[in-house]
Amino acid sequence: MKSCLYFGDVYHRRTSPKPHAFKFRLFMVHLFLDEMEEVFRKRIFWSTTRPNLACLRRSDYHGDTSASLENSVRKTVQDQLGKRPEGTVSMITHLRYFGHCFNPVTFYYCWNEDRSQPEYLLVEINNTPWNERHAKAFKWKGDDPDETPSRHNFTKEFHVSPFIGMDVDYEWTFSCPGKKLTVNMKDKKKGEVFFHANLKMSRKPMNGANLAWALTRFPFLTIQVVVGIYFNAFLLRLKGCAFHPHPKSLQEKN
């Protein structure tokens, strides 16, 4: 079985307009979608087909819920990049824990035939407080999955945070999921980095002991994520950071 768990930290740091940083401990599930029927078989508190303490609900993830998640991911990659991936699809995400699910970001990997390296990557972001989703597809770069990260530069397209405007350039770097997983996201203005988010995790096998530890150590993980987002937003307002309205609200006023 290729599916596994990742444990680690996410770290956010901004230098402008006011310095602010935080670090958050978490775990994420790396689920190969062709293993969904067996991955939690005989696990009392985990499931992919029914409500449970930890479960997967199709509506929490990408695309048309009447289509399979694999086909929805493949369709979006094809729509954005012009080529349909045919290999196995996996995702690194939060499931629904104690009835609640929220994913600031989910990573969908479209793998080559022997599953040694991704061919495409789809990143889907959820924003708050608007609860919108936005997916961005990338062709995987780098020939050595152990040594060469996939690096991508582009202009911001989606309003993620009310404390960062739209006039931003991104630099995103992804390691291939292996024993370690690293994701770096930098926000730049006029070539200068003012915000940096880093996800750094280590792989653990998806066995009974690790599943029990994950659910015991992080029982209300997704609720804690939401509380953390609003708490840090409150701190940013106290520090005097400007609030950037959603572009749609500005268009409606005009």
Contact criterion met (CB below 8 Å) for 174 and 150: yes
CA atoms within 13 A on the CB side of 184: 10
Give the per-residue pLDDT at 244.
87
What confidence score (pLDDT) does residue 247 get?
86
What pLDDT does 129 receive?
A: 86
Cα(56)–Cα(32) distance, rounded to whole angstroms? 13
Q: Are 59 and 68 in contact (CB under 8 A)?
A: no
Tokens found for residue 76: 């979006």
Pair 100, 223: CB distance under 8 Å: yes
Please give the pLDDT value at position 249.
65
d(CA 137, CA 107) in angstroms, rounded, equals 10
For residue 145, what pLDDT is reported? 67
pLDDT tens, per residue, the chain with 254 residues? 899 999 999 999 999 999 999 999 999 999 999 999 899 998 999 999 999 999 999 999 999 999 999 999 999 999 999 999 999 999 999 999 999 999 999 999 999 998 989 999 999 999 988 889 999 999 999 767 666 799 999 999 999 999 999 999 999 999 999 999 999 999 999 999 999 999 999 999 999 999 999 999 999 999 999 999 999 999 999 999 998 888 876 555 55
> What does the block give as tokens for 129?
């407080």
Position 33 scores a pLDDT of: 96
Q: Where are the alpha helices (DSSP H) in the chain?
A: 36-39, 69-81, 208-217, 221-238, 247-253
Given a contact cutoff of 8 angstroms between Cβ atoms, the answer to whether 2 and 115 are in contact is yes
pLDDT of residue 148: 79
Is pTM, for the whole model, over 0.75? yes
Alpha carbon distance 11, 30 (integer Å): 20
The backbone region for 98, taken as left when phi is positive above 0, alpha when psi lies in -120 to 50, beta otherwise, is left
Query: Domains along the chain?
Result: 4-203 (2.40.128)
What's the pLDDT at 157? 94
Query: What distance lies between CA 58 and its chain's CA centroid?
Result: 16
